[in-house]
Chains A and B, each alone.
Chain A
Amino acid sequence: MKWRYRGKLGFGYYNNRSRWFSLGPTPTVWIEVLPMIPLVRLRAFWIAGLCVGSALSMKAEDGWALISSLQFNDARGAFTDADQSDPRNRLGLGVALLGSQPKTEANLARAETIFRELRDADTSSDIGVRAGFFLARIAHLHRQPSRWTEAAELYRATYDAAPTHPIGQRALVHWGIVTLLRTTNAESVREELERFKTQTAEFTDEGAARDAHWVLMDFYERKLDDKAATLREIEAVLTSPVPLRDVTRFGLLIQAAELSRLLGNTERALGHFRAFVAQATRDSRIFLVKERVAELEASQ
């Protein structure tokens, strides 16, 4: 139970069933009644009460902090209390509904309605793009089995509405995944990969650009086993200005080295293996990598 201050509803709390229990006269009542009370002490008490009230009222920022620490149900309460005319609070409510437990169709449908309203209000604004992205995520992941076609359309629409927005570019990367996944013929896969590569080449968001290289790397390898193209994309991921977590970087260094070795480029393979040995001092693969380095050096 958390004490809240809800404007006209005054001080109170929500019970387990989200029912509001008021614990005192509303400020409107105080405003009407207090001037009639001559006692200065009571007036002071009233002012102090209002100050405490504003301190207790939930800010939208608190709601986002609750979401970042996985407290979705509390975040939902915070955003419900917040000013609903602010689209950021509406977005927060939609996001909190997606994370609320237990997961229900009603919550999903309500979140979907909120995101649709926000997107339709302004498709290219920051909030509109984020709402569009979440609509695609609902079709892709929240509803199981995934609605691949609908997800692809929603991702694409989000990108088309805001092609320079980081979330718009992120949406195109996800569009790439769901589209390439459904493409089976090797020739078509290659064509799609080339098209995707051209579309994402102009990305301004470094994170989205790195993710696009990741998708290219993944599909060149898994669908075509094209070693040279896979290597090129891995190296693009490794040199991205967005820092990679160690665990990811170490794996990619070995993969790049192995692909270089298989392509007959010993120098390049050694470069990647040596970078791994220098950085991954606590990795269980280091002994094996050192052996590979020794073998390659001996073969030179």
Chain B
Amino acid sequence: MKSSSWLQTGGFALLGFAFALSVWKVFTYTKQENDPNVRTLRFAHWQLEDGVSGALDQAARDYEKLHPGVRIIQIRIPEKVYPNWVTTQLVGGTAPDLIQIGKGIDQARLARFFDPITDEVIKPNPYNVGSPLEGVPWRDTFIDGMTGGFDETLQDYYGAPLFMATVRMYYNRSLMRDITGSDQPPRNFAEMIELADKTREFSRRENRLVVPIAGSRYNAPILIERVFASMTQRLGQDLATRRQFQFDGEQMLVALLQDRWNLETPALQSSLKLASQLGRHMQPGFMQLDREDATFLFEQGRALMVATGSWDATTLFNRPSFPVGVFDLPAPSPQHPEYGRFVMGRHSEQGVRSYGPLGIPNVSKNRELALDFLRFVTSQPGNQNFTTRSGWLPVTLNVKPVDSVAPFMPVFDGYPDGFTLTRTTEMRRVVETNFHLLFGPEEPVQRFVDNVSGPLKSAGRADLVRLQRDRVQQLTRADLTVTANEMLAAQNADEAEAYLRRARGQRERQFGAETAHAHVSTLLEE
């Protein structure tokens, strides 16, 4: 027989096998779906990082063992297509029983397609029986009080969060030993800069391509913004208008328009100097590179350090052939001879919130089961298992992280952050367009300031106008929802208190925004 005939026969056989396999899959799927003795629960999320999917699968198997007749299916959707996927599922009425809330789900969709779980979060989690959290309302068993699942506009809880993250500096311990003779990380900013200089010298001496810090348009800002936010700590407190130890993006924009700070302000000059210094320790052209490029460089042993979040911990601990260590993102301390006067101290991570809560779409036919599974995975034993298996940070109180991620646990003793130049859309655009100037030769800071100062103020104004526009929408919407909740309270005596609670919360939030809107309007009219 000719070889072409063999190929044809083989091709047909393969086609037949594929067809038979498809028929079998469809048949078994339909059979499973129609099995009256099995209830199937599906949940979808975009956390495709190493460790998460396996840990969630194991949680699902644990739950199935506890509840015979229940089958749990995990649906993993890549982050890039998640918004489109989730929109299609919600609008088409085919959404799974639990969906990670976030990308592609705004407040209007949350209100339209999801069931609030506010009534449930005040009840104790039955899976905490026997643990120190027994009898504690479910909401209060979360490290952040379940704020990650609360929607301020709608004044309701819509999901239980499973994920929390902080950012740190990863380093190659073997390479560190080669360069310094020890694998101990730097203890402060000055030591890190010294280490970076030693690394460059090592690279030249050994004729080996090694950069001190792996940078990319994703990783570099993590480090640079940390330095910025530290250097503007005192300035932020001085500029804060309300004596509340807080300086938000809007106050920053207002102060910029009032000429209370600019790029010549000493704290900003120092921030830019440090950013320029850090950028020179990254590989050339890093702002054109992606996250994967920086990770790849680090994994190849061609970069000593990389700044990223705890979400990369499992990947970065397991993939490289060398041992990896972690240390806190460095910023100058108040004792630093040159920069210390701008800094209050290490920033607090009290504000770190859980994110990406799993919510229950209103088309789910398994609301109670979905709620129960959520209680199971966020209970103290459930979250302990998830944390141990995934290597991610815990979201539930009294859960111990695995040793490797212990350095990622939020540090609570610290000071509020200052501000950065990339908090608002237009300012971010102006700064990022000119960022490369900071890392070039010949007076980079001055060149950056000369190019950015003018456009920065216009951009700040545009951002403030945008904030005002958003705020008008928030205020006008709140009028409508407050009225609706008050009317519903008048018509439903049984649920009046819940409606009035919502109306009160919405009204209070609206009122704070209303006075701020009035003052900013005057500023913009001037």
Contact = CB atoms under 8 A, between A and B. Distances in A.
Contacts of A228: none
Given A248-B508, A251-B244, A254-B244, A71 B112 contact: yes
18 contacts: A64-B487, A64-B488, A67-B484, A68-B499, A70-B107, A70-B477, A95-B484, A98-B479, A98-B480, A181-B518, A242-B508, A245-B508, A254-B245, A258-B243, A258-B244, A282-B350, A284-B349, A287-B414
Contacts of B488: 61, 64-65, 68
Interface in A16-37: none
Interface string A57-95: 000010011011111100000000000000010001001
Interface in A187-205: none
A255 B244 contact: yes
B486 to A, nearest CB: 9
B507 interface: yes
Interface of B: 107-108, 111-112, 144-145, 154, 241-246, 344, 348-351, 412-417, 472, 475-477, 479-481, 483-485, 487-488, 491-492, 499, 502, 504-505, 507-509, 511-512, 514-515, 518-519, 521-522, 525
B475 A141 contact: yes
A282 B144 contact: yes
A68 B484 CA distance: 5
B511 A211 contact: yes
Nearest to B350: A284
Contacts of B475: 141
A41 interface: no
Given A98-B480, A137-B476, A70 B245 contact: no
A181 B348 CA distance: 36
A221 B241 CA distance: 9
Q: What 5 A-B pairs come out closest when comparing CB atoms?
A: A67-B484, A69-B111, A284-B351, A68-B484, A284-B350
Contacts of A53: none
A83 to B, nearest CB: 15
B111 A181 contact: no
A68, A96, A177, A289, most chain B CB atoms within 10 A: A68
A125 interface: no
A149 interface: no
A29 B241 CA distance: 70
Contacts of B145: 282
B519 A222 contact: yes
B224 to A, nearest CB: 21
Contacts of B508: 242, 244-245, 248
Given A70-B108, A178-B518, A207 B504 contact: yes
B145, B492, B514, most chain A CB atoms within 10 A: B514
B418 to A, nearest CB: 12
A283 to B, nearest CB: 6
A284 B481 CA distance: 31
Contacts of A282: 144-145, 350
A5 interface: no
Contacts of B108: 70-71
A287 B411 CA distance: 11
A88 B487 contact: yes
Interface of B is mostly: helix
B245 A288 contact: yes
A286 interface: yes
A254 B243 contact: yes
Interface residues on A, range: 35 or more
B416 A288 contact: yes
A243 interface: yes
Nearest to B108: A70
Contacts of A96: 480
A251 B476 contact: no
B469 to A, nearest CB: 8
A147 B412 CA distance: 47
A99 B480 contact: yes
A214 interface: yes
Contact of A177 (B111, B481, B518): B518
Nearest to B245: A285
Nearest to A214: B511
Contacts of A134: 479
A92 B108 CA distance: 19
Contacts of A69: 111-112, 154
A215 interface: yes
A244 B512 CA distance: 11
A258 B514 CA distance: 24
B349, B351, B511, most chain A CB atoms within 10 A: B511
A70 B110 CA distance: 9
Interface in A149-190: 174, 177-178, 181
Contact of A286 (B243, B350, B491): B350
A144 interface: yes
Contacts of A6: none
A292 to B, nearest CB: 9
Contacts of A211: 511
A293 interface: no
Given A255-B242, A255-B243, A64 B491 contact: yes
Nearest to A66: B484
A288 B233 CA distance: 12
A287 B347 CA distance: 10
A68 B116 CA distance: 12
B145, B243, B499, most chain A CB atoms within 10 A: B243
Contacts of B521: 146, 181
Contacts of A251: 242, 244, 246
Nearest to A283: B350
A268 interface: no
A56 B507 CA distance: 33
Contacts of A71: 108, 111-112
Contacts of A98: 476, 479-480
A135 B450 CA distance: 49
Given A61-B488, A288-B415, A67 B480 contact: yes
Given A67-B481, A98-B476, A258-B243, A215 B111 contact: no
B257 to A, nearest CB: 15
A181 B412 CA distance: 40
Nearest to A215: B515
A68 B481 contact: yes
A259 B243 contact: yes
